[in-house]
Structure 1
């Protein structure tokens, strides 16, 4: 086990916050660690060069801060575990199956391993695309199980912290700052390509992930601190949806508005298929919600969005007039990253990987072959193939519990900041799951999904909070007494009392 310089910095910060920091500060430390998606805090040579990312390493300190004796978080952790019971069912069943499944069905089906390598026996590219190996237990079953347990702990931590108003504010503002930094670093990675600044950014891409080429026909693809553009876009679309929903619902607009704007600009310029698909799906959801439900889109927010769209049209028109060649190249790039993607060899390979999940589900009669047993390209088919019917049912119920489709606050902004923030988390979690169903290589929904669903369950509990009525109070006119009633009121009281006994 080797500690990287990022891990060393995290040890110093984590221990400092553990000894002298609040639980909200420790949670902010965990949230900031999600920015380093291409980094490694610890490298594990004994597990085939696998690595522990910074967010998982920060989770160790978060768990210690929650569970240390005397911290007074026992009751809150218990409530968080009960609220996330369906996610716990999915993960615990998957963790057990990760060790049993590959041995139970060893050699019965062929799969593409999570960390397969190109070998000399591949005589053609097509042979490599459809290359498989007999199912067997591997180190990836262990590492994926560790990631799954980390996902559950992250959801519990988010629930505990966001159950309090201070934690909610820290959550929103920290992610606004993190989203802003993520977008700005993305632009910096493009502008500083080939300069010493790019060398500094490359120091943070020390994870055991394939560092892909980030250029296409002269266009530098935006990757930031991530190993590839799709990972950068996946993280960006998740938190863009959350921050945009918060801004639309007037939750800390001074923080969430600028961050959402920068993230939207970065996603549009990222040239990543994940970004364009995610933005398209979310735009359709917002448009449909606004048309079907009165009040779902505040009028002033709609005007700002329309103005931003008009400004973008004017900008694109100006570019078409001033630099038609650049626009043609950009259009070709956009077509290559979207329309042509499904017809390319890469798209064919991803389709085959996604099909493996359904094949494993059918071949095991709905049991599953265990997380980490094969490489997928869809969260939905990975969940089916890895955890079977039990895991898929638990995941669906957990998502419905977090989204709460029957709550009015899910669709219409509420003056209650907790309800509005929880609804923003719910929409971001749904978009995250949809995007992951088109690109995720594993059945682990990830820390972003865990943070969003854990916070959503905390901010909008099953039993709504009883809040005092702050609406207008109807004042009754003064009582007018007739002469007879006035005379009666002056009579002496009866000898017995009508007041209840003490």
Structure 2
């Protein structure tokens, strides 16, 4: 086990916050750590060079801060565990199946492994696309289980912190700062390509991930601190939706508005399919929501969005007039990264990876072959293939309980900042699931999903907390008794008023 310089910095900060910091500050460390998607805090040579990312490493200090004797968080942790029970069922079942499934179904199915090549050489391109090997237990079953348990711990942590108003405010403000940093670093990775800036950013891409080429016909694709453009866009779209929803609902608008704008601009310039699909899906859902639910889009916010759209149209038109060749090349780049991608070798291979999950589900009769057993390209089919009926059902119920589709606060702003923040988390988590169902290689929903769903369940509980009534009590007019009832009342003694006490 080797500690990197990023891990060493986290140790110093984490121990300082453990000794003298608040639980909100420790949670902020976890949120900032999510920014380093291409980094490693710890390298594990014994597990095939696998690494522990900074976000997962920050969870160690977060867990210590939550569970240390005398912290007073035991009740809150128990409440958070009950609120996230369906996510816990999904993860604990998957963790057990990660060790049982590959051994139970060994040799009965062939799969593409999570990591490593099946053969050193391939006789044809078709052999490369459809390369598989017999199912066996591997180190990836172990590492995926660790990631899954980290996801559960993250959800519980987010729930505990966001139960407090100070935690909710710290959560929103920290993610606004992280969002701005993510967008700015993305632009720096493009503008500083081949310079000292690129060298500095490369120091943070020390994880055991394939560092892909980010250029195409002279265009530099935006990757920031991530190993590839799609990962950069995936993280960006999740928090862009969250921050935009917060701005739409007037939650810390001075921070969430600029952060959402910076992220949206970075995503539009990223040339990543994930970014364009995510923005398109969210824009479509927002328009549908505005049509079906009056007040879902406040008038002033709608005018601002319209103004930004007009300004972008004018800017694009000016560029088309001034640099028509640049526009043609950019259009070709976007077409190559979107429309042509489904018909490319990569698109065909990803379709095969996604199909493996359905095949594993059928072969195992709905049991699953265990997380980490194969590489997928869809969260939905990965869940089916890895965790079967139990996992798919648990995850579905968790999503419904988190999103709360029957509540008006899901679709329209309210006067309660907690409800508005929870609804913003719910929409961002929904977009995250949609995007990951098109590109995720594993059944682990990830740290972003855990933070968003854990916070959503804390801020919008299943049974709303009713505030005590402080208004005047309406007194009932006196009843007129008949002579017979008056005589019976006198014989039975005094009666007590049924009116509520003040």
Q: Please, what TM-score do these two structures have when normalized by structure 1?
A: 0.94
Give the superposition deviation at 1:469.
Answer: 7.3
Tell me what 1:45 maps to: 45
Give the superposition deviation at 1:125.
Answer: 2.2
Tell me what 2:202 maps to: 202
Tell me what 1:182 maps to: 182
Alignment of 1:69-468 (within 5 A): 69-117=69-117, 119-467=119-467
Give the superposition deviation at 1:500.
Answer: 5.8
Give the superposition deviation at 1:498.
Answer: 8.2
Tell me what 2:484 maps to: none
Tell me what 1:492 maps to: none
Tell me what 2:479 maps to: none
1-structure distance, mates of 2:415, 2:191: 41
Give the superposition deviation at 1:116.
Answer: 2.3
Cα gap change, 1:194/1:468 in structure 2, threshold over 3 Å: closer, same or farther?
A: farther
Runs of 4 or more consecutive aligned structure 1 residues displaced over 6 Å after TM superposition: 496-499
Q: Which runs of 5+ in 2 are unaligned?
A: 475-492
Partner SS state of residue 266, structure 1? helix
Tell me what 2:29 maps to: 29
2-structure distance, mates of 1:33, 1:140: 23
Tell me what 1:489 maps to: none
Give the superposition deviation at 1:497.
Answer: 8.8
- Asked if 1:7 corresponds to 2:11, the answer is no
Partner SS state of residue 406, structure 2? coil
Partner SS state of residue 439, structure 2? coil
2-structure distance, mates of 1:498, 1:391: 59
Partner SS state of residue 438, structure 1? helix
Show CA shifts across 1:264-320 (max 9, x none): 000000000000000010000000000111000000000000000000100010011
2-structure distance, mates of 1:197, 1:369: 44
2-structure distance, mates of 1:288, 1:197: 42
1-structure distance, mates of 2:63, 2:496: 56
Q: Please, what TM-score do these two structures have when normalized by structure 2?
A: 0.94
Give the superposition deviation at 1:467.
Answer: 3.3
Q: Which runs of 5+ in 1 are unaligned?
A: 477-495
Partner SS state of residue 437, structure 1? helix
Task: Tell me if the contact between 2:118 and 2:131 (Cα under 8 Å) persists in the aligned partners.
Answer: no
Partner SS state of residue 36, structure 2? coil
2-structure distance, mates of 1:469, 1:199: 61
1-structure distance, mates of 2:468, 2:5: 51
Show CA shifts across 1:372-416 (max 9, x none): 000000000000000000000000000000000001100010100
Task: Tell me if the contact between 2:290 and 2:297 (Cα under 8 Å) persists in the aligned partners.
Answer: yes
Alpha-carbon RMSD: 1.9
Tell me what 1:486 maps to: none
Give the superposition deviation at 1:45.
Answer: 0.2
2-structure distance, mates of 1:270, 1:315: 17
2-structure distance, mates of 1:225, 1:286: 30
1-structure distance, mates of 2:87, 2:334: 37
1-structure distance, mates of 2:416, 2:468: 11
Give the superposition deviation at 1:123.
Answer: 1.4
Partner SS state of residue 75, structure 2? helix
Partner SS state of residue 449, structure 2? helix
2-structure distance, mates of 1:468, 1:307: 43
Give the superposition deviation at 1:117.
Answer: 1.9
Number of equivalent positions: 483
Give the superposition deviation at 1:466.
Answer: 1.6
2-structure distance, mates of 1:370, 1:355: 16
Give the superposition deviation at 1:429.
Answer: 0.3
Partner SS state of residue 51, structure 1? strand
Tell me what 2:482 maps to: none
Task: Tell me if the contact between 2:249 and 2:420 (Cα under 8 Å) persists in the aligned partners.
Answer: yes
1-structure distance, mates of 2:116, 2:381: 19
Cα gap change, 1:67/1:398 in structure 2, threshold over 3 Å: closer, same or farther?
A: same
1-structure distance, mates of 2:244, 2:20: 34
2-structure distance, mates of 1:164, 1:240: 24
